[in-house]
Amino acid sequence: MVYQGMKASKGEVTGTARVMFYPDGEIGEDEILVTGMTTPDFVPAMRRCAGIVTQKGGRTCHAAIVARELGKPCVVGLAEALELDGVTIRVDGSTGTVEVL
């Protein structure tokens, strides 16, 4: 299954999706941060994770800007994002796609 969001920060990464509703949750370096949208409180988790997917936002949202600064692949505006918890996914920030593997 391939989902289409908006490309926000180029690059490709594969990892386990970890849905986080609050910024104080734990996330590993090989996991993909998946959330509704990010705020500055999410930056420590954004630094640790391998990539970022958000349900809301556009090319100039917080997640997109921080992901570009950190050099992390990022897809935003993916309506199905919060359904991906625990699933292995491939995030392609260059095309805006998220593929369930």
Candidates 10, 59, 62, 90; catalytic one: 62
Mind spelling out the 3-state secondary structure of the chain?
Answer: CEEECEEEECCEEEEEEEECCCCCCCCCCCEEEEECCCCHHHHHHHHHCCEEEECCCCCCCHHHHHHHHHCCCEEECCCCHHHCCCCEEEEECCCCEEEEC
Whether 62 is catalytic is yes
Q: Any idea which residues carry the catalytic annotation?
A: 62
